[in-house]
Structure formats: C-alpha cells, structure tokens
Structure 1
Amino acid sequence: MSFTPDSRTDLDRFWLTIQRSAEIGKGREGGLARLALTDSDREMRDEFVAWCKAAGLSVEIDAMGSIFARRAGLDDSLAPVIIGSHLDTQINGGRFDGIAGVLAGLEVVRTLNDLGHVTKRPIIVVNWTNEEGARFSPPMVASGVFVGQYTVDWAHDLIADDGARFGDELARIGYRGDAAPLNDVDAYLELHIEQGPILDAESRQVGVVTGGYPSYGMRVRFDGETAHTGPTPMDLRHNALIAGARFLTAVDDIGWDFAVHDGKATGSRLAAWPNKPGILSETAQCVADVRHPDPITARVMAEKMRRAAHEAGAKAGCSVTVEDEWAWGGDIFDDELVTSIRTEAKRQGWNWRDIEAQAGHDAYHMAMRYPTAMIFTPCKGGITHNNKEDCSPDDLVAGLNMLLHVAVQRADR
C-alpha cells in the first residue's frame, strides 16, 4: 500500500477513539467535565500517550504539560508540521470541542502507518494544556507560552478558584515536563468543530477558516470593603459585588448595541467575596470579552468595555484593577495553507464554504509566529460548551480527510 490522492482515514477507528475519550471525565449526561490538570485530565492524557506510543510516536512533555507526539520524517532535521488542539473541556463541556482536533491528528499518523508512508518532514501531534481556561484563566495559556506571549513562571503561578496553583497541579498529575522548546515549526494545522450554527444550518460538510473575529477580553478586580447590609447608609457603601454586576451588565449592553452587524459581548464570570447574605462584598473578579467581524468596530467595543469597568467601580465606590487583558483574531491565517485546504475541499468534492472563526483557539497564538490554518467541521445546531454538543461520523469525515491530505502535502515539501 502507499499514499495516493484517494487515500482515506479509518473513520470507524477515529470514531471509536472519540467514544473512548467520552468515557473519561464524564459530566452531565452525554457531556464531559474534564477540567485542566484534574485527575480526569491526567487519565485522558495517559490514554492519549498510550495511543501515541502504540502508533510508534515518540512523546515529549514541555514545562507547560503540553504533549508533543512525534512521527519521524525522512529528514528529521527539518521543521515539523504540527497538528493538534486540546483534550481539556469546560465544566459543562461536550465530547468534541478540541478533542476531535487532537484525535484527528492521531488518526492522520495512524493512517500513514497503515499506508507505510513516511513524510519528508516530521509530523507532531500536540495536546495543548488548559486551552479552555475553565480552571485557570486565561484560556489558551500553553500555546501562548509556546509562542512567547506569556512566560512559564507566570503561567505556573496561576491560581484556580479551588486555590490550586498551576505549576503544582502539573507536578501532581505527573505532567510537568522538561522537553526543550522546538526551535522551529513549518506549519500548524488545527481541525475543530465550528462551535456555531452556520455549517449545520447550510448543510455544509466542512468549513475553510479564513480568519477569526477580532476579540478582546479582560479580567477585572473590584475592591471595596465589607459592611452590614442593614444599617450601612447607601452613600457609605463600597460593594464590590455591585461594581462587578454593573460592569457585566454594561458589557452585555455593548453587545446589544453592536449586535445588528454580528457584534457580541459577554460577561462570563463574577466571583465575589464573601458573597454572603447580610454583608457587602469586599472583592469581586469579573471576566468579559467583546468581538466583532470588523477590526475597527471590535476596538471601539473594547474601549467601551474598559470604560465600563472604571465607571462601574466609581459608581460603587470601589477601586478597579485590570488584572489581565488579551486579544486575538483577525486576518491571521497563512494564505498558502488556506488555499491548500480550499483546493483539497474542491478536489475531494465536499460541500464546503469559507468561514470565520468566532471562538478562541490555540491556532490564534500559533499564527503569531508560524504558518497556521484551521478546518471547521459542523456540529448539530452549533451547540457547544454544553453537554448536548453533538456530531456524527458524517459530520467529521470531510474535515478529517482534508486534514490528512493537507498535512501530507505540507510535510512532503
């Protein structure tokens, strides 16, 4: 056997691998709650590493706990093609978000093994740590460290709501590695479910991702002071909970103001202390973000969001600290790679369309330094970050086989 234009992945094998993943870290019915660096994350990592070693891949772990499974190339000194995504999930996550991308990379190398084809360049399948940011904020932190957006020490000092420290949890689950950073990357490819309704609504089999909605996010802390809710006069109150609530409501209003052209604004987190009856809260931490297809409008929305934080703090008599800010998206993906994906969709005869990503992905960070592209597969109704997230094998087959051929084309350069 050999690799030919008609070569295809083993869809049944891929689907069985997806189903096995769905048994690890179960959440609500049909979904997963496999948060980063928990025991269930360790169990999934162990399973993934075993699969990779069974496929003949060498496995290395970096200081962020990201797993790099390498298939040697004919010239192993050449920069590798990396395929990947993440295996961690949201607290009420689905079975495919991120997971399909990592396991698609594994299926690509399994298929090449079946066909006896060794690419010129090495291929690496990666599982990025803490893409979701559900336990340790911000999201996409490991890929951010990989491209130099964050430092390892900064990331290791991140603290979860349960008080756990990122670096300590890496060590606890046995995935605080010491692999040397890669010197170069030829290309990064990521397959992902769309996480939106467009492909499914249009009965499309696959999406060629041309870029991402420009997005801006921030984590804000409000500091006030505790006091009794009864006798404390309104003009002497410094209620951080109210400051946070006002801020997030203002962010939601920004989204509605720009919704007519598909702008979106989200208040996703409000954590206050002590957050009890009878007492005003001393602190509140909020996370919010805005996004819009037009980059100028997205920046306007971001400035409104920043102003809203300071206005909310002032009105509640609280100090305001912006603890973290991030931005991603835009016209960031490599034209040559995008064209190759589009060409492959046409050659294989799939019902495809160009599409922009609206969620955050590790590919956004990788695109800051390396040629990067994404492939979207449909998901039922666009439901995601929800235990009802669903795909069928037919939803994944087009993207999976396009990934195979685009990866081999790139790795055989």
Structure 2
Amino acid sequence: MNLTLDRERFVSTMKAQAEIGGTDGGGLHRLTLSDDDKEIRDWFAEQMDAEGLDTRVDTFGNMFGRRAGTDPDAKPVMIGSHLDSQPYGGIYDGALGVIAALEFVRTLNDEGIETTHPIEVVNWTNEEGSRFQPAMQGSGVWAGVLDIEAEYAKTDADGAVFEDELERIGYKGDEPCEPPEAYEAYFELHVEQGPYLEENEKEVGVVTGVVGFTWGAITFYGDADHSGPTPMHYRKDALVAAADVITQIRRIPSTLGERTVGTTGYVDVKPNSINIIPDEVTFTWGFRDPEEEIIEEARSRVLQEAEWAAEREGIEWEFEDRMRVSPVHFADRTVDAVQTAADDLGYDSMRIFSGAGHDASYMDRICDTAMVFAVSENGKSHNEDEYTSWDDCYTAAQTIANAALTIAQGDGREDGE
C-alpha cells in the first residue's frame, strides 16, 4: 500500500514558505543568515513542533527534527534539503525538499503509521553558497569535510562574518555539528535544474549520483598604462590574457565528455576604466562532470592555458583552488527504493545524474543516499523564472516519501543485515 500525501496541504505549505523572502517577480531572495532566513527558520521550527518532532539545532545552524521509531537501536533515516535561496532565485530550489520532508512526517502522523527506524527531517545551513562561500557549507561541516572554525571566519561581500551573523539571528545551536550516531539512509528531493526530464517527457527523476566539480580563480598581473599613446607591442594587458583563458573555459568541455560543463561566472577588472589598460584581472573557473579524471583534466587544462596566456602577454599570474568535490554514485539499495516507489505509484521515470551539487554529495559519506528530481520547466533555475508545476512537485514528493518509508520500515536493508 502506497503512502498518499495531502496534496492541498503540501501545496499550501509550499506557498506559505515562498512568502518569506518572496520577490515582486515571483521568486525568492532568502540569503543565508539574513533576516528572512531567520524568519523561515522560526517558521520551520514551529511546523516541526506542531508535529511533535524532537528538534535540535547544531553549532552551525543545521536544523533537525526527529520522529521516533519503534526500534530503539535502529539507525535514523534522514530526509530534507535547504531553505536558503540564491539572490532573486526560485521558490522551489531547496525548499521543495524540506517541505516534502515535513509533509511526509505529517502524513505518517495523520495515518498513525509507525516506522522501525526514526525519521529525521533536516534543513541544512547555506547550501547555496551565494552569500558565504563555499556551497553546501552546513552539510560539509557536519560530514567532517569542512573545518568549522575556518567556515565560521568566512565573510560576505560587505565584510559580515559568518559566525557573527549566525549568532545575530539566534541559530548558533548547542548541539555539536557532527553526526550524533550512525545513520541508515539519506533522501533528498530537488528540482532538476536542467532540461533532461522535460526533454524526455518523464514525470520524475531517479537520481543515481551527483557530478563532481572544481572551482577556482586565476589572477593576471599586467601593467596599467594610457590606452592612447601606448603602442600595442608595449602593452602587458591582463584582460587580454584573461579573455583568452575564459574563451578556453567555454571550449574545453566539448573536448572532454558529453556531460562536462565549464563556466566563468565572476570577473573583476582593475582599474576598470575605458582609458586605462587593465593591470589586474581575477576570474573564476568552474568545471563539472560525473567522472573524477575528467574534472582533473579540465583543471589541468585551464591552468596550462593560463600559463600560455601569461607568456604571450609577458605578465605574471597566480591561481587559487576554491572548492573541490568528487563525483558521487549513490548506493543501489537507496536508488532502487526510489525506482520502486516511482514504479509502484505508476510514474514514468528515468534515471539521471545530477549536474548540480547538493547536500547529498556530502551525506553520501555518512550513509546510503538517494535523490529524487522534479521536472524543471525549460530547465530554468537560480532565477525568478524557475518553475515546476504543482503536479510535478507532488509527484516527486510522493516518490521520495514512499522511498524513504520503505527504508524506514526496515525494507531494502543492507546486505548482511
């Protein structure tokens, strides 16, 4: 028998969360540790309290709510995502996974269904990495990948310190930011943020893993000079070197793999005047792919291009690695639980590899993990045009709830258990 969520309540709750930090363009501007982030956290804590969950907040602001299981020795099944948003992003990114987790617990309570394993709902701190870098910060610290003191010291563009802002909004909790025990499984629902489900006319995505990625920055140091009298052969133009490499960042992926992507999303030019030859340019690279070797090759290639560009212009350069996450391939039993749920519910699904990073990437280090994707119309995300129909939201929520229930009931156990 399949679990059936209350569609009207689910949609209503999604609309309610979207009002906190909502924009005039129908999107969401709810940056990490902002006043709106405090408001949505307070709201979410009230929702968890209303369902009788045992709530806690750790020292990095990650929020958890636990529903007890019948076996005191059984490991918890965690389900959730994040409530922070991109600047002027969409209302579904992250929030859909948290609200689906909340509705899952509500439905269990409504139906009086007990689970062998405890159910734990989670809201991770700063998944987006838009105000403070890096992304997936809360889950990264919790999983032991990122150092908490180093992350506390991070600052935003205005110089605000992460730890100070966490304390300001009242969400530096008392619980250690680490797993308090072993976990059975982790499930996360997210919008696809890409076009593949829609292009293939599928209703839901069974995610088999998450791409790895490398982020970094390159800085070229040229000589500032007057743009009029300075002959071309005298120039040491940092922007020309940067432009050469940025062009290659666009071209490198096509030589490596079908799923390889590369992006320059940030450029800082100094002195940034129409009448002065640029003497310092910093720009970023970002490469993603499902395979570790291809990511490493992309990074190596862009640094080689930078060295050649610097030689051509006769200038100095340096680089900084900013983030590195390995590709993740989810465990068969959790992926199979999602596939079985989609099949049993009669949904037309496809297996898909995530092209974006998610908290599930770090959670896979802790326990067996799986994700569900909802259809993204036109593949749009990280802007106000992000759209997933309520039907597609509900389909994905139904799928992840039934997959999580399967594991929480003790089905789909690990070999040897």
Partner SS for 1:271: strand
> Partner residue of 1:97?
93
Q: Is the 8 A contact 2:81 2:188 kept in 1?
A: yes
> Partner residue of 2:355?
358
**2:13 pairs with 1:10:** no
The correspondence of residues 18-29 of structure 1 with structure 2, limited to 5 A, is 18-27=14-23, 29=25
Measure how far apart 1:162 and its partner are.
1.9
Q: Encode CA deviations 1:242-268: one digit per residue, 9 max, x unaligned.
A: 554443332112134447x24311111
**2:53 pairs with 1:61:** no
The correspondence of residues 1-400 of structure 1 with structure 2, limited to 5 A, is 5-27=1-23, 29-180=25-176, 181-183=178-180, 184-222=182-220, 243-258=241-256, 261-278=258-275, 284-315=281-312, 317-330=315-328, 332-400=329-397
Partner SS for 2:160: coil
Measure how far apart 1:42 and its partner are.
1.6
Measure, in 2, the Cα distance between the counterparts of 1:182 and 1:362.
Answer: 14
Measure how far apart 1:234 and its partner are.
6.2
Measure, in 2, the Cα distance between the counterparts of 1:27 and 1:282.
Answer: 39
Q: Is the 8 A contact 2:374 2:392 kept in 1?
A: yes
Measure, in 1, the Cα distance between the counterparts of 2:312 and 2:23.
Answer: 40
Q: Which amino acid aligns with 2:408?
A: A
Unaligned segments of structure 1, at least 5 residues: none
Provide closer, same or farther for how the CA distance between residues 198 and 269 of structure 1 changes in structure 2, counting only shifts above 3 A.
Answer: same
Measure how far apart 1:227 and its partner are.
5.7
Measure, in 2, the Cα distance between the counterparts of 1:309 and 1:325.
Answer: 19
Measure, in 2, the Cα distance between the counterparts of 1:280 and 1:174.
Answer: 47
Partner SS for 2:9: helix
Q: Which amino acid aligns with 2:58?
A: D
Q: Is the 8 A contact 1:62 1:177 kept in 2?
A: yes
Measure how far apart 1:359 and its partner are.
0.9
Measure, in 2, the Cα distance between the counterparts of 1:208 and 1:182.
Answer: 26
Measure how far apart 1:97 and its partner are.
0.9
Measure, in 1, the Cα distance between the counterparts of 2:312 and 2:54.
Answer: 57
Measure, in 2, the Cα distance between the counterparts of 1:372 and 1:321.
Answer: 34
Match of 2:401 among 380, 383, 404: 404
Matched positions, count? 407
Provide closer, same or farther for how the CA distance between residues 228 and 361 of structure 1 changes in structure 2, counting only shifts above 3 A.
Answer: same
Q: Is the 8 A contact 2:218 2:317 kept in 1?
A: no
Identify which range, 390-399 or 299-308, moves more after superposition.
Answer: 299-308
Provide closer, same or farther for how the CA distance between residues 104 and 248 of structure 1 changes in structure 2, counting only shifts above 3 A.
Answer: same
Measure, in 2, the Cα distance between the counterparts of 1:226 and 1:162.
Answer: 27
Measure how far apart 1:166 and its partner are.
1.5
Measure, in 2, the Cα distance between the counterparts of 1:179 and 1:236.
Answer: 60
Measure, in 2, the Cα distance between the counterparts of 1:235 and 1:41.
Answer: 53
Q: Encode CA deviations 1:311-359: one digit per residue, 9 max, x unaligned.
A: 44555523313142312324x2011111111112112211111111111
Q: Which amino acid aligns with 1:345?
A: A
Measure, in 2, the Cα distance between the counterparts of 1:168 and 1:223.
Answer: 34
Provide closer, same or farther for how the CA distance between residues 13 and 237 of structure 1 changes in structure 2, counting only shifts above 3 A.
Answer: farther
Q: Encode CA deviations 1:49-74: one digit per residue, 9 max, x unaligned.
A: 11111121122122221111222222
Measure, in 2, the Cα distance between the counterparts of 1:311 and 1:176.
Answer: 47
Measure how far apart 1:120 and its partner are.
2.0
Measure, in 2, the Cα distance between the counterparts of 1:170 and 1:163.
Answer: 14
Provide closer, same or farther for how the CA distance between residues 229 and 48 of structure 1 changes in structure 2, counting only shifts above 3 A.
Answer: farther
Over the aligned positions, Cα root-mean-square deviation in angstroms equals: 2.4
Unaligned segments of structure 2, at least 5 residues: 411-417
Measure, in 1, the Cα distance between the counterparts of 2:166 and 2:308.
Answer: 39
Measure, in 2, the Cα distance between the counterparts of 1:230 and 1:171.
Answer: 52
Q: Percent identity?
A: 38
Partner SS for 1:268: coil
Measure, in 2, the Cα distance between the counterparts of 1:191 and 1:348.
Answer: 16
Measure, in 1, the Cα distance between the counterparts of 2:390 and 2:321.
Answer: 42
Q: Is the 8 A contact 1:87 1:98 kept in 2?
A: yes
Measure, in 1, the Cα distance between the counterparts of 2:275 and 2:174.
Answer: 49
Q: Encode CA deviations 1:134-153: one digit per residue, 9 max, x unaligned.
A: 11122112111111111001
Q: Which amino acid aligns with 1:66?
A: N
Q: Which amino acid aligns with 1:41?
A: D
Provide closer, same or farther for how the CA distance between residues 55 and 279 of structure 1 changes in structure 2, counting only shifts above 3 A.
Answer: farther
Q: Scaled by the length of structure 2, what TM-score is found?
A: 0.89
Q: Is the 8 A contact 1:245 1:270 kept in 2?
A: no
Identify which range, 346-355 or 21-30, moves more after superposition.
Answer: 21-30
Partner SS for 1:373: strand
Provide closer, same or farther for how the CA distance between residues 263 and 179 of structure 1 changes in structure 2, counting only shifts above 3 A.
Answer: same
Measure, in 1, the Cα distance between the counterparts of 2:45 and 2:83.
Answer: 12
Measure, in 2, the Cα distance between the counterparts of 1:124 and 1:173.
Answer: 23
Provide closer, same or farther for how the CA distance between residues 308 and 49 of structure 1 changes in structure 2, counting only shifts above 3 A.
Answer: farther
Q: Which amino acid aligns with 1:300?
A: E
> Partner residue of 2:414?
none
